[in-house]
Amino acid sequence: MQKKNPKRIGLAIVGAGRIGLQRGEIAARYPQVDWIGIADIDPARAKLVAEKLNADFYTTDYRELLKRPEATAALISTVGHLHVEPTLAALENPNKLALLIEKPIANELAQSEMVLNTIRAAGNDALIGYTQRFRRRWMVAKDRVASGGLGDISTVSSRAFLNRLVALNNYKRDSDPKLNSPMVISGTHALDIVMWMMEGKTPVELWARSTDKALGPLCKGTDATVGTMVFSDGTLYNSVVSWALPISWPGAVYGLEVGVVGADGVMTIDDTHRDFVLAASQAQGMGYVADGSRLVDFVGSTPAGDMALGALRGPLHEETQSWLMRLSMGVATPHATAEEGHHRLMLAKAYDLSARLKKSVALPITPQDELRTS
Ligand SMILES: NC(=O)c1ccc[n+]([C@@H]2O[C@H](COP(=O)([O-])OP(=O)(O)OC[C@H]3O[C@@H](n4cnc5c(N)ncnc54)[C@H](O)[C@@H]3O)[C@@H](O)[C@H]2O)c1
C-alpha cells in the first residue's frame, strides 16, 4: 500500500481554453493543489479562467509562467499544433515539472522525436492526454487481453465514426490540410486504444487509403482513412476512421466499435453511445459546437465527458484526477507515456503516408519518410 504522505502540487496551465479550464476546475478542487498559474495568449481568457479557478498567477507569456518556482507540474493544453514550444520551456524549470501534454506531442514526426529525446534526456515524468483510456470499458478490455483470457490475439478491428462538426471545426480553425489529418487528430484515439491492447506486439507493415468525397468539395478536407496493419507475429488490425458523418448523425463527436479475436476467445466492445438517446423538438445546443439542426443526440459521445450537476463527469475527470494522485501519492496510473504518444503519431503519419503514396509502407516510418512523395 502507498504511504499516505502526499506531496504538494503547484500546477501551471498553458492554454486556458476549453480543456485547460476543464482540467483546471478539477485541479482547483484537489486538496494537494495549493498553487495554480495560468498562461493564455488571449489576455481576457487568461483573466477569466484565473478568476474562475481562483488562480494565484496569470499571464499571457507561457515562459514567464513556466519559470515560476511554485510550479511542480504543467498542463500543456494549447491547440493541437502548438504544444512543442511550451513543452520545451516547461522542461527548463529546475523543479523537473511533471507534464501532461494534450495529444499530439507535435504535428510533425521530426519535432515529436526531438521533444521525446529532450524529455528522455531531462528525465521528467511526461504523459500524453489519451483520455479515452480512462473509460472503464477500455481499461477492462486492456486488462482482459493482458491477462491472457483470449489467448494469443490474431485479429483486431476498429471503427471510429465522428460527426463532421469535429472536422469542420478543425478545418475552420486552420485550413492547412497537413494540420488536419483525421488520423492525427481523431483516429489516434482509436489507434491508441488498440495499440495499448496490443502492447508487446510489433507492427511491421501498413496499407491505407483515404477518401474526400464529402469534405473535399466543402473545405478541401479528408473524409476518412481506412487501413490494415500487419504485426511481426502475423496479427492483423483493420481500422476505419471517418470524420465525415452528417451533422444530423446523433453521435455528437466520437463513436467507436472494437473487436478483438484471440485463439481462445473474442471480445466486442460497443462505445457508440447508442444506449442513451436524447431527442428534443427544439435545439438544445447539442453537439461539438452548438448546431440548431441537431435534435437527437447519443449522450456520452463527447470524449472528455459530459457536464452534469455543475461539473464535468467522465474520462477527462478520471484522467486528470488520476494524474493528480500520481503526482501527490506516487500511485501507478494507466496514462499514455511520451514514448507511446510519439509512437501513435508515427503510426498516424504512416496511415497518411500510405494513403498518399497509394502503397504499403514498412513500419516504423522515419521523419524523412513523412516527407516522401514517391
Ligand atoms: N483530452 C481530451 O479529451 C481532449 C478533448 C478535446 C481537445 N483536446 C486537446 O486539448 C488541446 C486544447 O483544445 P481546446 O479544445 O481546449 O482548444 P481551445 O482553442 O479551446 O483552447 C486553446 C487555448 O490555447 C490558447 N493558446 C494558443 N496559443 C497559446 C500560447 N502560445 N500560449 C498560451 N496560450 C495559447 C488559446 O488562446 C486558447 O485559449 C488540443 O491539443 C486538443 O487536441 C483534448
Q: What is the pLDDT of residue 283?
A: 78
Residue 127 CA, ligand 1 centroid: distance in Å: 16
Alpha carbons within 13 angstroms on the beta-carbon side of residue 40 total 19
Residue 19 CA, ligand 1 centroid: distance in Å: 6
Q: What is the pLDDT of residue 128?
A: 98
CA distance 370 to 39: 32
Residue 102 CA, ligand 1 centroid: distance in Å: 8
Domain 9-102+323-334 has CATH 3.40.50.720: yes
Query: What letters, b where the CB count within 10 A reaches 16 and e where it falls short, cover 284-310?
Result: eebbbeebeebeebbebbbbbbeeeee
Chosen CATH of 136-301 out of 3.30.360.10, 3.40.1390.30, 3.40.630.10, 3.40.190.10? 3.30.360.10
CB neighbour list of residue 107: distance below 8 Å, 6 or more residues apart:
80, 81, 178, 179, 184
The full set of domain ranges for the chain reads: 9-102+323-334, 136-301
Q: What is the pLDDT of residue 357?
A: 97
C-alpha grid cell, residue 96: 523537473
Closest C-alpha residue for ligand 1 atom 4: 304
Residue 170 CA, ligand 1 centroid: distance in Å: 12
Mark the ranges of the chain whose per-residue pLDDT is less than 70: 1-3, 175, 177-178, 285-288
Q: What is the pLDDT of residue 4?
A: 75
Show the ligand 1 pocket: residues with CB < 6 angstroms: 14-20, 39-42, 45, 62, 77-80, 82, 102, 129, 131, 303-304, 316
